Amino acid sequence: MSEVTIIDSGGANLASLEIAFRRLGATTQITDSPQEVTRARRVVLPGVGAATPCMKRLYRSGLAALLPTLAQPVLGVCLGMQLFYQYSEEGPTSCLGLLPQTVRGLAPAPGRPIPHMGWNTLHHLQSDPLLEGVREGEYVYFVHSYGAPVSTFTIATAQYGLPLSAVVRRNNFWGTQFHPERSGSTGVQILKNFLRL
Amino acid sequence: MRFRDHRIAGAILELVERYRAEGADEIVFYDIAASPGGRTVERLWVHCVAQTLDIPFCVAGGIRSLADAEEVLYAGAEKISINSPALENPMLIDVLARRFGSQCIVVGIDSQRTPAGHQAWQFSGDPKRARSSGRSVSEWVREVQNRGAGEIVLNCMGNDGVRAGYDIEHLRHIRSLCRVPLIASGGAGTLTHFRDVFIHAEVDGALAASVFHSGELSIPDLKDYLQSSGIPVRPSVPEAA
């Protein structure tokens, strides 16, 4: 059995996530089969692009109903994390409903172009196995135009105009708004931590 | 070097490893002879680089269609940058942005100062075919954003490779029109050039090639310098803030 099962959400970052896990010596598979996902040791929900087509894809494959019922560790990356929420303004579309809030569009402002694209720092880190060895102020790589508000599920924040959820957790579901697969050694640390869950 | 004098910059994969270790924030691979030569970047090469890198990685060079873009992104690139093909067929930007999202669609613009103002240049990689697209850079910057470009790399051709500094005035003007991330390119020669372009043109990133390839400037020195000049940068060696 593969150590990491990556859901084929149709996005363009499948390859970079898979390569990143393989670089750490993990075996991987990419699938959209509910049977495979049910059996998976760990699940990664990537996502690049827009929320609506991604949700449509999850409904078509039957994964939209399955994902919230999973008990193994699940990591949502970028749009994958946003899909954990109740609702996204992007579309708009309803999402998986694991987290009660709404994902909203980031507001452009002088000196703050949208998308929020580039390296930014992590703050307000909570003690969590996914963030083991990651310190306040470390840089990670963000690319997004929508964001999730800070809530009780937030275990790290980032500041882009308003504070945003950079890492969230609810039970066995973890999400990162940034791309750990493109975040240098800090990202590597987070992916390693995920492989230990 | 100016576009008319292409230099081979040594074993590319070795460079990639070196820049990654030194703390580069993003690496862009330009196959600048691809568009004029009617070919696309080598897929296998993209794949090899993607195996090595855990930082963002952008590929530019002759990406002319959805299928071209798909191949490069699925080979592991984070972003694709299009230049001449977008000038030939602006709809390509819309198509790619709809399919992959704006965040991975970079539009590169080669800006040349002319008596009629700054114009977007086409096929800059080939001295025999390089010519003006007839579009003003300002207009083109507005248009590509409306079509869904998620980032603009503005290469100031007169400055490219001469190491006399970025074209601050032009970049500042484009900054005022640009609501997506803007990356300055062309002209970096010294540490102060980088500082000045961040402070005076308020760009989101600064791209340079020859000063790093030649070893004239090192990325850790540059980052230390920028940090001490009050410009927030990701440290070369990760450390707590």
Report the b/e string of B105-121 with b at 16+ CB within 10 A. bbbbbbbbeeeeebbbb
* B73 vs A: CB within 8 A: yes
pLDDT interval class at A86 (50, 70, 90): very high
Residue in B with minimal Cα distance to A15: B76
Residues B175-193: what's their mean pLDDT? 95
Domain that holds residue B197: 77-228
> A143 contacts in B (CB within 8 Å)?
78, 103-104
Q: Residue A137 above 60 pLDDT? A: yes
pLDDT interval class at A110 (50, 70, 90): confident
Place of tokens 């963000």: A142
Q: Is A5 helix (H, G, I), strand (E, B) or coil?
A: strand
Q: What is the average pLDDT score of chain B?
A: 87
Q: What is the pLDDT of residue B9?
A: 37
* B44 vs A: CB within 8 A: no
The C-alpha atoms of residue A102 and residue A194 are separated, in whole angstroms, by 26
Q: What is the pLDDT of residue B129?
A: 85
| Structural domains of chain A, with CATH | 4-196 (3.40.50.880)
Residue A35 vs residue A54, higher pLDDT: A35
Catalytic residues of A: 78, 179, 181
Record: contact B104-A12, CB cut-off 8 A = yes
Evaluate whether residue B119 is within a structural domain.
Answer: yes
Evaluate whether residue B212 is within a structural domain.
Answer: yes
Residue B31 vs residue B5, higher pLDDT: B31
Q: What is the pLDDT of residue A188?
A: 96
**What residues of chain B, 199 to 228, have a C-beta less than 8 Å from chain A?**
202, 204-205
Q: Residue A185 above 80 pLDDT? A: yes
Q: What is the ipTM of this complex?
A: 0.86
Count of structural domains, chain B? 1
Evaluate whether residue B135 is within a structural domain.
Answer: yes
Record: contact B235-A19, CB cut-off 8 A = no
Q: Residue B34 above 90 pLDDT? A: no
**What residues of chain B, 134 to 153, have a C-beta less than 8 Å from chain A?**
150-151
Question: B79-82 and B105-114 as β-strands: parallel, antiparallel, unpaired?
Answer: parallel
Helices (H), chain B: 12-22, 34-37, 43-52, 66-74, 84-88, 91-100, 137-147, 168-177, 191-201, 210-213, 219-228
> A179 contacts in B (CB within 8 Å)?
56, 78
Q: Residue B240 above 50 pLDDT? A: no
* B58 vs A: CB within 8 A: no
pLDDT interval class at B103 (50, 70, 90): confident
